[in-house]
Amino acid sequence: MPPQIHTTADGAPASGTSYSYKASLIGMAQQFDLTDDGLSWRIGDKQSVWPYASIASITLSYRPVSMQSRRFRADIANQSGQRLAILSTTWQTIALMTAQNESYRAFVTALHRRLAQADSKVVLSGGMRPLPYALSAGVLAIVALAVAGLLVRAITTGANAGALFLVACAALFGWQTGGFMWRNKPRSYTLEALPKELLP
């Protein structure tokens, strides 16, 4: 059976060996290719090839925005300290940001496969860094206690409409923020087992 070929938002084939996106409407297209020599990239007039052995770290994360609630990101750094960011969405028009889930997943998976074949010592991490994550969790806990206090007060004073409003707001906030925190919990992973929560 021939391999399944996905397509990107612009209709280009997404075999996993190439990927492109626009980070902003007026920004330059960013093109990435997996070659025998390494990770080849082109951003505007800049281009280079990073040998797989020179890639020092990859961080996968979940980065939703207002126009795209399911956006993922891969941050790649080499041993010289240079960094690249690959997003799972691309800008098409002033009001349209399109998801490229299949081609993004295929490319990120293929990159990890290439690194494994090169016997890479890359450091792999996912989600937020531990300190920002802990601070965010602490703030959320304080907010949850404050909302719980307001809810108890609303119930004891007979303000049923206010209590229902608080419950609805807490449920919506918990669903959105809880999903973000769950996906972005700090973790490390291996080249053979990518975290499913951080891929579309």
The answer to whether residue 122 is domain-embedded is yes
What integer pLDDT is reported at residue 3 of this predicted model?
33
Rounded Cα distance between 184 and 119, Å, is 27
Distance CA 40, CA 166 (A): 51
- Maximum mean pLDDT: which of 4-18, 65-79, 131-145, 162-176: 65-79
Q: Which two tokens stand for residue 49?
A: 């090839």
- List the domain range (segments joined by +) for residue 47: 6-127+184-198
Of the listed ranges 4-8, 105-109, 121-125, 143-147, the least confidently predicted one is 4-8
- Is 83 part of a structural domain of the chain? yes
In this predicted model, what pLDDT tens digit does every residue of 14-59 receive, in sequence order? 456 999 999 887 878 899 999 999 999 999 899 999 999 999 999 9
- The answer to whether residue 10 is domain-embedded is yes
Domain shared by 122 and 81, yes or no = yes
Considering Cα of 6, then 69, then 111, then 10, what sign does the dihedral take? positive
**What is the mean pLDDT of the segment spanning 104-132?**
95
User: Is the domain of 43 the same as that of 11?
Assistant: yes
Do 20 and 99 fall into the same domain?
Answer: yes
Taking the model in full, what pTM does it have? Answer: 0.79
Q: Are residues 52 and 114 in the same domain?
A: yes
Contact 115, 191 (CB under 8 A): yes
- Give the chain's domain count: 2
Answer yes or no: is 1 within a domain: no
Query: Is 78 within the bounds of a domain?
Result: yes
Are residues 189 and 195 in contact, defined by beta-carbon separation less than 8 angstroms?
yes
| Percent over 90 (pLDDT), the chain | 54
Residues 102 and 151 in one domain: no
Closest listed residue to residue 182, CA positions, set 169, 193, 196, 172: 196
